[in-house]
Structure 1
Amino acid sequence: MKDLISIDQLTINQVNEILDNAQLIYKDFDLNSNKLENKLLINFFFENSTRTRMSFEIAMKRLGGKVLNVDISLSSLKKGESIIDTAKTINAMKPDFVAIRHNSSGIVSLLNNYIDASLINAGDGTNEHPSQALLDSFVIRQHKKTLNNLKIAICGDVLHSRVARSNIKLLKKYGCEVRLISPPTLITSDYRIWLKNKWNIEVYEDLITGISNVDVIMMLRIQQERMIGCYIPSLAEYYKLYGLDHQKLQYAPKAIVLHPGPINRDVEISSQLADDKKVSLILEQVSSGVAVRQALLLFLAKN
């Protein structure tokens, strides 16, 4: 495979290959430093990004490649050009990799019809974010020594989270017990049915019950930019019921805490817990993301 649009494309052996290579790179970021020399990555981001865009850029440059970041505000899209024509224009410039982030679910699959380069889904709407799931699994494996049969709680704005969807797909490959914790207003009945029928996943509306004795807790950001109307009474009320702090974490004494970022302090997670490096691995996710994306670029280039 030359593209990564969905976790569905990866076999468990391919995931292991990417994570194994990422582990070697994480120990020595200069490993394979010229493997992608003279190769070009274009970051084609329609949504704001700090971690994903920067880590793809750093990853490519550490492999000896070149990076072009497309500034959407200065592109011909602002003159009325369609996204398909823009994709065709990018393709005509013969890049080797294109990473795309867009607010429309499924758009990366559409653009794959017009771009010959290795295409990487860097987040499409509420659909998927496969490289985030890979780096999350990498961090989990580093600390739990395995991905097999772990208990994972994913808590927060499930309705709007592409991170949750990709992580569910990846973690279930390893037989993990995945629990989703969400206010009833942030998950639909159809989504509940899909989770139960497809993945045998239970949805909890009580945080303490959902996180009890799990191995990993993944907190999700409240995505107010995707909300039309009122999904939660207030951020303070949300934090009271669904925000994670040291007191609530006592119900999962062996758990590590992840968050894809950016975090809303004292909304999804307390500031004290976010900064507690003994259990919070948020910054380790960031540094691991570079190694995992280096490994991903090498994997796609090979194939």
Structure 2
Amino acid sequence: MTMTGKHLLTLQGMARTDLDALLDRAQQFADGADARGRLAGIAVCTLFFEPSTRTRLSFQRAAQRLGADVLNFDAATSSTTKGETDVDTLRNIEAMGVRGFVIRHREDGAIARLSEVVQPGTVLINAGDGRSQHPTQGLLDMLTIRQTKGGDFSKLRIAIVGDIRHSRVARSDLCALRALGANDIRVCAPASLLPDAETLRGCAVVDDLADALSGADVVMTLRLQRERMQEGLVSSLEDYHRDYGISAARMALAKPDAIVMHPGPMNRGVEISDDVADGAQSLILRQVANGVAVRMAVLEAALAG
């Protein structure tokens, strides 16, 4: 795909041809394609204003494998603690010759706003902003599905279970699934954790978890954000696990070859049980591995021109 010099802020509106091109290239990297020197001499900064394990480290690993110079920004030990604004932080690092920024932020739309102030030739990649989007997580989820279920998403029955209302992962996944032709997407969550109608466009809202899982090819469960309990959106962790937790007994309702996915971090015993998280149907660690390949493809497409 032609993405050189372009920001990756969202999967909303991305054409299927562009999605497929990124996934094809990511698969090549997953299969061991030579990446040495693709970003030689280019500096990439992981600019994270919010904690992260998988996304930050996999972007760093991806940039290293492509030969980039990698700078790691930690908000907790930076001048932001002294009152420096996000814009000033970015501009100062940009002035050091950094061309690529991988940014995570707690506020919706914050990365899009930063994209308006950067110099020509500087590229921003959204590594998760608020509850809005997490485009590379969406891509790695699609790669994981495609590796195991093939490229015809129209044949798949997909169940998404959990806190969809506050999940940037779910929003990116839904954008990608619609673009790739999925037409049987079931979402299941407490009413308090369901998003707006536009987010759920093309989905069937299923109240009962057993109905949502019945005959599913793909089960995607999402982290229950524990702060939602304090907001009164969930009565208790025990009640949530009873009604929406993915267990081996419940997975038996899905197809025998169904796969289980989770973006991490997991709350074991809440949204997913140990026997499922560590079971034969779980592709959670493959998602993590695919994250490196997908982020290599995105960095290359944006910066290697």
Q: Report the TM-score range of the alignment, normalised by the length of the smaller protein.
A: over 0.9
Alignment of 1:1-303 (within 5 A): 1=3, 2-8=6-12, 10-28=14-32, 31-116=34-119, 117-149=122-154, 150-176=156-182, 177-188=184-195, 191=196, 193-195=197-199, 199-225=201-227, 229-253=231-255, 254-276=257-279, 278-302=280-304
- Aligned with 1:115: secondary structure? coil
Query: Deviation of residue 261 (structure 1)?
Result: 0.4
Q: TM-score, normalised by structure 1?
A: 0.94
Question: Relative to 1, partners in 2 of residues 1:274 and 1:105: Cα closer, same or farther, differing over 3 Å?
Answer: same
The whole-number CA distance in structure 1 between the counterparts of 2:70 and 2:199 is 38
Q: TM-score, normalised by structure 2?
A: 0.93
- Aligned with 2:104: secondary structure? strand
Question: Relative to 1, partners in 2 of residues 1:299 and 1:159: Cα closer, same or farther, differing over 3 Å?
Answer: same
The whole-number CA distance in structure 2 between the counterparts of 1:279 and 1:164 is 20
Look up the equivalent residue of 2:158 and give its one-letter code: I
Q: Is the contact between residue 118 and residue 300 of structure 1 (CA under 8 Å) also seen in structure 2?
A: yes
User: Residue by residue, what CA displacement relative to the aligned partner does 1:33-87 show, whole Å, maximum 9, x if unpaired?
Assistant: 1111111110111111110000000000011111111111222211112222222
Q: Is the contact between residue 14 and residue 179 of structure 2 (CA under 8 Å) also seen in structure 1?
A: no
Count of residues paired in the alignment: 296
The whole-number CA distance in structure 2 between the counterparts of 1:227 and 1:43 is 31
Fraction of identical pairs, as percent: 42
- Aligned with 1:194: secondary structure? coil
Question: Relative to 1, partners in 2 of residues 1:228 and 1:256: Cα closer, same or farther, differing over 3 Å?
Answer: same
The whole-number CA distance in structure 2 between the counterparts of 1:88 and 1:17 is 31
The whole-number CA distance in structure 1 between the counterparts of 2:190 and 2:281 is 24
Q: Is the contact between residue 147 and residue 171 of structure 1 (CA under 8 Å) also seen in structure 2?
A: no
Q: Is the contact between residue 185 and residue 203 of structure 2 (CA under 8 Å) also seen in structure 1?
A: yes
The whole-number CA distance in structure 2 between the counterparts of 1:275 and 1:92 is 46
Question: Relative to 1, partners in 2 of residues 1:195 and 1:120: Cα closer, same or farther, differing over 3 Å?
Answer: closer
Q: Is the contact between residue 159 and residue 219 of structure 2 (CA under 8 Å) also seen in structure 1?
A: yes
The whole-number CA distance in structure 1 between the counterparts of 2:153 and 2:303 is 28
Query: Deviation of residue 181 (structure 1)?
Result: 0.8
Query: Deviation of residue 88 (structure 1)?
Result: 1.9
RMSD value over aligned CA atoms?
1.5
Query: Deviation of residue 223 (structure 1)?
Result: 1.4
Q: Is the contact between residue 137 and residue 147 of structure 1 (CA under 8 Å) also seen in structure 2?
A: no
Q: Is the contact between residue 41 and residue 66 of structure 1 (CA under 8 Å) also seen in structure 2?
A: yes
The whole-number CA distance in structure 2 between the counterparts of 1:90 and 1:226 is 35
Look up the equivalent residue of 2:102 and give its one-letter code: A
The whole-number CA distance in structure 2 between the counterparts of 1:53 and 1:9 is 25
- Aligned with 2:28: secondary structure? helix
Question: Relative to 1, partners in 2 of residues 1:227 and 1:105: Cα closer, same or farther, differing over 3 Å?
Answer: farther
Q: Is the contact between residue 127 and residue 165 of structure 1 (CA under 8 Å) also seen in structure 2?
A: yes
Query: Deviation of residue 228 (structure 1)?
Result: 5.3
- Aligned with 2:12: secondary structure? helix
Query: Deviation of residue 285 (structure 1)?
Result: 0.4
- Aligned with 1:101: secondary structure? strand
Segments of structure 1 that go 5 or more residues without pairing to the other structure are none
The whole-number CA distance in structure 2 between the counterparts of 1:33 and 1:181 is 43
